[in-house]
Amino acid sequence: MQWNKNRATSASFAAVTRPSLPAIEVPLLSTPSPLVYESSWSCSQTPAPPYSLSLSSDSFCSIHSAAPAPCWTSSFCHACTLLPSQAYIVHRQFLVRMGSIKGMPQLTPEEDEKASMFALQLVLGSVLHMTVKAAVELELLEIIVRAGPGAKLSPADVVSRMPTENPEAVAMVDRILCLLAAQGVVSCSVVTGDDGHPSCKYGAAPVCKYLTKNEDGVSLAALSLSNHNKISMESCYYLKDSVLEGGVPFEKAHGMTVFEHLRTDSRYNKLLAEGMRNHSTIFMKKLVEIYRGFDDVKVLVDVGGGTGASIHTITSKHPHIKGINFDVPHVISNAPPYPGPKLTTHAPLSQYPLGII
């Protein structure tokens, strides 16, 4: 994609249309003395689709696309890919220079561009996180990976492997994968169909190695589900109140401590335990390959060791160690049986034991 010496006033919004749809025009932000931007910019995706930027005298701008929006660069905001509209709204800051703002240093065009994109990432980051969670729950990445190395699936291919009869599912999955492609979670290839219309096919990107189950049956997808669960997220809405009024966000949200909640909510307890078990299994396995501090250890006690994933990984790598996993009863109840006589799991006699070691 090229923007070759197009003159534009300072702009924040433009609309990218899907193929075979009319361009959508939105007003540009105006300034008393409009700044002029003349430059070229290339899309980071390959193949780069043709786009054209058109300006009219009444300060309206539209971007016409001959290919689907997934090929748009990842620096844009793709929040609107989830809207029930065929238009994909993207955000771009054309300001060449930033005026003096009290308390702020003057920025170069490059610094201003970087700062504006970083600001968008901060305020819109939850869109990506929740989209990843939805993709995990729908098993979109698992479906793509199971298709085999190098496989490219269309949204229709993916949906055909899902337990749904929703006629809108293909379009919705396309939008989800579009966002994930823009962030490098999946790859995207634009192909031309027999009808002459372009469409996208998606494949697994390297990060999918950690978002789909490995040979140990674990992935970081479980951590996404536990961290972005409603119970966990509710605490975030009380951060401000805790700063101003005191107290713990989780307790303000739920009226009890997190440990009390885990004892009363078996589903949340299991979800949190699975997230920690998957995370611990993946990264402890990396650690024991390079860390030599366990070589002379005879007995190792993991206090608050969850379901025992960490201590099991250590004793598997160092079978001379007698491992003891120690945690509260409602956590231990979710611990799987581990093979070998050197690992035992214990629950404390009291709720908050002291002097364990």
Condensed to tens digits (0 to 9), the pLDDT of residues 184-219 reads 999 999 988 888 889 999 999 999 999 999 999 999
For residue 79, the Cα-to-chain-centroid distance in whole angstroms is 12
pLDDT at 123: 95
Q: Do 199 and 157 form a contact (C-beta atoms < 8 A)?
A: no
Condensed to tens digits (0 to 9), the pLDDT of residues 82-119 reads 333 333 333 333 333 334 466 778 899 999 999 999 99
pLDDT at 97: 36
**Dist. CA 277–CA 271, nearest whole Å:** 10
Query: What's this model's pTM, rounded to 2 decimal places?
Result: 0.66
Map out the domains of the chain with their CATH numbers.
Answer: 13-99+109-123 (no CATH), 129-211 (1.10.10.10), 221-346 (3.40.50.150)
**Dist. CA 80–CA 68, nearest whole Å:** 14
User: Of 326, 329, 332, 331, nearest to 354 (Cα)?
Assistant: 326
Q: Residues in the chain with pLDDT < 70?
A: 1-102, 340-357
Could you tell me the two tokens for 37? 């931007």
Could you tell me the two tokens for 209? 């190695």
